[in-house]
Amino acid sequence: MKIGRFQKNEIRLLSGYYLMLILIDSTMYSAFTMMILSYFSNQLKLLILGIESLVAIFIFIDTNRKKKMLVGLKLQDYIYLGEFGLILFLCFPNSIFIKCFSYAIVTLSTSLLVLDISKSIIIQQSQFEIGFMKLANLKTFATLIGFGIGGILNAQFIPSLIILIMIVFAVSLILVNRFSKVDSHKSLTISIGKIEDIFTVFVLGILTANTSVWVPIVAVSLQHQYVHLTVIAFVLPGVLTLILMRWLIKVPTVIILILFVVQSLIMIIGFINQSAIVQTFCLAFIVPTSLSISVHLRSQFFKKNTIFDLKSLIQLLSVNSNTVLFVLAILSIIVPNIGIYLLLVNMVSMIILVIKSQKEKL
């Protein structure tokens, strides 16, 4: 894979900008979810997940259109779109419908920016694994911090958060002038029948679900037992991820599969032992192993599907993650202890991966 045209200082700016976008997105997601819960019952927490899923699907469809609506716009246009959504929120502070609509617009804006920046970061690396590791490290760090900040924000502070984001967006207009959109001439439309190794897409969705299931479990446990240690549940997984990812990028795939086994066993311990401390360490292990496996699977998946545009493949995985989370959230209302069933799916997926690795002699 050829190295991109960006210089080292520009790549650092790209990484910093990506970090900021994920921080904004995760903070708003957490804060708006808390806001929705303050207005409605617990079931409507699905509303934010539903918005995220619809935005991801819209972008994916747009990336595969010959005449693109938004994906083909300039980076500055995405920022203007986000500013419009933020202004809309401030102009109608008492309308929950407008608030949700403005959240959808801002999510669309940040998602489009993240898509372009992600593609640029991956392309400038000499290997897929290195690019995905960089993105995974940045996303983990920013997401955990963003969830932590958004979770403690009271609804009355959301307008202040909106104003702060507006200022950041305005300043970033200067920054994006230094970046160029990385376009591709590949126009082959993605379809299920044309994708190589579609099972990998399914496994990546399950890996995303692992972390999403455990974060609320640990948060609730700590609130009941060790409120003052809640921050550890967010900091420890991030630190461990940054440490392990540098090592895991160099190990063979068989080691990653072993980690998958260990992760499943750790999850069993977490379900059996209701101690908040044990669950915190389970979370600290699940996050880096899930991300490490994801990096390897993503890189292999992209190598097998080079006939498609990189941006379309990135968005396909984004749609997959958001859809799995949305479906899982719905099932969690209907099915008690959904985490146990997720564990069983993990075990089955692990077995299939082991069989596939033996056949492919990885």
- Structure tokens belonging to residue 273: 């032992």
Print pLDDT tens along the chain (362 aa): 444 444 567 777 888 888 888 888 888 887 887 777 666 655 556 777 788 888 988 888 888 777 778 887 888 889 999 999 999 988 887 888 888 899 999 999 999 998 888 888 887 766 666 777 778 777 877 777 777 677 666 667 778 888 888 888 888 887 777 665 555 555 556 666 678 878 888 888 888 777 777 766 666 666 666 655 556 666 677 677 777 777 766 777 677 777 777 777 776 777 777 677 777 777 777 777 777 788 888 888 888 888 887 788 888 888 888 888 888 878 877 877 777 788 788 778 877 877 777 776 65
Q: Are residues 168 and 222 in the same domain?
A: no
CA distance 358 to 341: 26
CA distance 261 to 266: 9
Alpha carbon 193 to its chain centroid, in Å, reads 26
| Burial readout 193-223 (b: 16 or more C-beta within 10 A, e: otherwise) | eebeeeebbebbbbbbbbbbbbbebbbebbe
Q: Are residues 229 and 168 in the same domain?
A: no
Q: Are residues 166 and 205 in the same domain?
A: no
How does pLDDT run across 59-117, given as a tens digit for each residue? 888 887 777 788 878 888 899 999 999 999 888 878 888 888 999 999 999 999 988 88
Spatial contact of 242 and 141, defined as CB atoms under 8 Å apart = yes
> Among 166, 157, 21, 164, which residue's Cα sits nearest to residue 93?
157
CA-to-CA separations, 61 to 70, 71, 75, 113, in angstroms, rounded: 11, 10, 19, 16
Q: Are residues 309 and 332 in the same domain?
A: yes
| Contacts (Cβ under 8 Å, ≥6 apart) of 164 | none
Indicate whether this model's pTM tops 0.75: yes
Q: Are residues 146 and 207 in the same domain?
A: no
Q: What is the largest CA-CA distance in the chain?
A: 59
- Please tell me the total count of domains within the chain: 2
DSSP string, 3-70: --S--HHHHHHHHHHHHHHHHHHHHHHHHHHHHHHHHS-GGGGHHHHHHHHHHHHHHHHHHT-SS-SS
> Among 348, 359, 141, which residue's Cα sits nearest to residue 260?
348
Give residue 132's domain range: 1-183
pLDDT at 2: 47
CATH number at residue 142: 1.20.1250
Last residue in a domain, options 168, 183, 198: 183
Q: Are residues 207 and 330 in the same domain?
A: yes
Q: Are residues 106 and 17 in the same domain?
A: yes
Task: Look at residue 153 and give its three-state secondary structure.
Answer: coil
Q: Are residues 163 and 202 in the same domain?
A: no
Q: Are residues 88 and 207 in the same domain?
A: no
Helix or strand (DSSP H, E) at 245: helix 230-248
C-alpha distance across the termini of the chain, in Å: 21
Last residue in a domain, options 148, 183, 218: 183
Q: Are residues 208 and 330 in the same domain?
A: yes
Q: Are residues 253 and 164 in the same domain?
A: no
96 C-beta neighbours (distance < 10 Å), count: 14
DSSP 8-state code for residue 193? G
Last residue in a domain, options 183, 217, 238: 183
Spatial contact of 292 and 247, defined as CB atoms under 8 Å apart = no
Length of the chain: 362
Q: Are residues 64 and 178 in the same domain?
A: yes
